[in-house]
A and B are shown apart, each in its own frame.
Chain A
Amino acid sequence: MAVTLELSNIAKRYSKKVWGVKKMDLQVKNKEFIVLLGPSGCGKTTTMRMVAGLEEVTRGTILLDGKDITDKAPRDRGISMVFQNYAIWPHMTVFDNIAFSLKLQKIPKKEIRLRVEDTAQMVKIQELLERLPGQLSGGQQQRVALARALVVKPKLFLMDEPLSNLDAKLRVIMRTELKAIHLKTGATSIFVTHDQSEAMSMADRIVIMKDGEIVQIGTPDDVYFRSASVFVAGFIGTPPANFFNVHCHIDGKDITLTNENFNLSISRERFENLADYEGKNIILGIRPEDIEIVEESEALFSNEIMVIEPQGSHQVVALNVSDNIVKMIVPAETKLQYNDTLFLNFKMNRLHLFDSDTELRIN
């Protein structure tokens, strides 16, 4: 597929000590929906603003449809954007807000009306076109901002935490609608969020950032099942992965991962990359749904239930394993009680192993 946006080695330095983005390489394919995900302050907004032309780059180049737009003014880039606080203009009606860019392009009035009405229909605000933004709810303002960005049919569609000011229920509804709109329009999009479940549910590919750098790029399944680092495994998932420090002992065909709670034997065939770790400590990660309740005879270890958090569709059970809180997901039907002792094992094909020093994935 054709590459729409290409960021090569871009960086943004705000001042001597403050880097907004340290190094970013990214290719966004045509019609792709990319989500930039990371904790607050990791450089998502900065990246977005450099692509939009609202912030100068300190280093690197930005190509859009093969053309260098690094030094172009925002309006000459062919992009549009949804701002976190909507940034719709309070003195213009909804119609005028949406039509702003079309009017500047001197498009005939009739066509403007058609396009604005079409777009308004798509985001369900066709009844609000004559209102002023002050008369709209937050969710409706959000839709206006969306319509204004969609109506220009941009080469690239940028959204900076567009849902974060909505209440929880509306946020989930808008997620679905946004994705549906994306499927319908096929607009190449970059969506910024710090909410991992939002990222997982919307993205074709997720770009996970930390401290101004990319730590992993991949599909939702990639980042979930093959997390590139302890940071990613601990950031993605509700609840995120659990970690254990284990000692790696290799004896012929067998590998044993040991700590004070368990001795886990795994076959060498499946973990070739562990060869160099004989006698060393590594980090074992396991996701909450990959810890299973088993018969006592098959148990890797046992533990008492510390807290049960019912979620309706399932329950989250928290254990205290040597002062390390471990969370696991148990089906709703399983009858459990506070202080019950559980016999537990890990799903062997779902182990995540990380180097203790670099915290990068081994297997």
Chain B
Amino acid sequence: MTMKNPQLLLSMETRRKIMPYLLIAPVIIYYFIFWLFPVINSVIGSFKDIEDQWTLSNYIYIFKDPVFYQSVINTGILVVFSVTVEFLLAFGLALLINIKFKGSSVFLFLAMIPMALPAVAVGAIWTSGFATRGWLNSFLMTFGFIDDAGKFLFLAGGKYASMLLIIIVDAWQVIPFVMIILLAGLQGIGNDMKEAGYIFGGSRFQVLRKIIIPMLKPTITTAMILRIISAIQIWLIIVMIFGFNRIPVLLEQVVLNVDELGSEFFLRIGMALSVIVALIVSLVAILYLKVSGSFEKKDGDSE
């Protein structure tokens, strides 16, 4: 048999196997150029000194720097508290909106506004809010909660007060995002699942704990992992409200070294620092997925 058409040289089977790779090829190429390449570049860069010699000195510098440990601790505190607060409030709001009371869609719309604002705008809003003559104080004065002498010095507080402010601002911006994810998950749970819970003896709380939350677990895991990762990477809000180095956190230090200090030496420190941040993020993510049981094999489970 002679084959003129070259396409026929490949069996149907082979072509079927190659097809998916052809289809995702553009994505992979994109990935290589715009992601993998820069990443490899900075990983290599972090192990070189300004004379382009291999070295560990960048890392040693970081690990000797007390500000680094300070920023790890600060980041840790912010992650734990902001993610917890955000999750609890967002879950409460999602449950509330999911009841579909009168005006719940208006409420949903209002609740989503902070999400639409870019971080820079959020920073601007709150910097002007926290100023001693800012809108927060004048708001409180207008309603008579405080008088002129009692104005809060929001930005002059200690470290923990400042971090509390950061958590509040971050929560304000992020809660809608978490809420939307949870709400989508809630709406995927059939009403009859809950109703069966009520019929078979469950109180509202028991149905929430034994049926809704377990069924929502994949969604919760997704929301939490996204939030934890971006909470580790918090920096812009802090810098906008407090400037650099007041409340040092990991990513702020990266930016500080790379963009602000501006010399070749600090650029390399910044590279090393970002490698460390990337490792921390991956580690935390894997740890969380492990703890939440997402790696457990669900045999034959098809929902």
Contact = CB atoms under 8 A, between A and B. Distances in A.
Interface of A: 52-54, 73-75, 79-81, 83-85, 87-92, 100-101, 104-105, 132, 134-135, 148, 152
Given A87-B190, A135-B301, A100 B200 contact: yes
B302 A85 contact: no
Contact of A87 (B195, B202, B214): B195
Nearest to B214: A91
B200 A52 contact: no
A100 B190 contact: no
Interface string B209-224: 0110011010000000
**A-B pairs with the 10 shortest C-beta distances?**
A87-B192, A101-B200, A104-B201, A87-B196, A134-B301, A101-B201, A74-B198, A91-B214, A75-B201, A83-B192
Contacts of B298: 132
A105 B201 contact: yes
B202 A91 contact: no
A29 to B, nearest CB: 23
A54 B199 contact: yes
Nearest to B196: A87
Nearest to B300: A135
Given A89-B193, A104-B206, A80 B302 contact: no
B203 interface: yes
Contact of A80 (B192, B199, B299): B199
Contacts of A84: 192
Contacts of B195: 52, 54, 74, 83, 87
Interface in B184-240: 190, 192-193, 195-203, 206, 210-211, 214-215, 217
A135 B199 CA distance: 24
A52 B200 CA distance: 11
B303 interface: yes
B206 to A, nearest CB: 6
B300 A81 contact: no
A103 to B, nearest CB: 9
Given A89-B215, A91-B214, A91-B215, A83 B303 contact: no
Contacts of B217: 91
Contacts of B210: 100
15 contacts: A73-B198, A74-B195, A74-B198, A75-B200, A75-B201, A83-B192, A84-B192, A85-B192, A87-B196, A89-B196, A90-B301, A92-B214, A104-B202, A105-B201, A135-B300
B165 to A, nearest CB: 39
A223 B215 CA distance: 45
B155 to A, nearest CB: 47
A67 B216 CA distance: 38
Given A91-B215, A101-B201, A104-B200, 15 more contacts: A54-B195, A74-B199, A75-B202, A81-B199, A83-B195, A85-B190, A87-B196, A88-B196, A89-B193, A89-B196, A89-B211, A104-B202, A134-B301, A134-B303, A135-B299
Nearest to B192: A87
Contacts of A90: 215, 301, 303
B34 to A, nearest CB: 39
A90 B298 CA distance: 12
Contacts of A100: 197, 200-202, 210
Contacts of B202: 75, 100, 104
Contacts of B206: 104
Interface centre among A89, A92, A152 (most CB of B within 10 A): A89
Contact of B300 (A88, A101, A134): A134
Contacts of B192: 83-85, 87
A132 B203 CA distance: 24
A101 B206 CA distance: 11
Interface string B140-151: 000000000000
B82 to A, nearest CB: 29
Contacts of B196: 81, 83, 87-89, 148
A75 B215 contact: no
B148 to A, nearest CB: 53
B200 to A, nearest CB: 4
B245 to A, nearest CB: 48
Contacts of A104: 200-202, 206
Contacts of A132: 298, 301
Contacts of A81: 196, 199
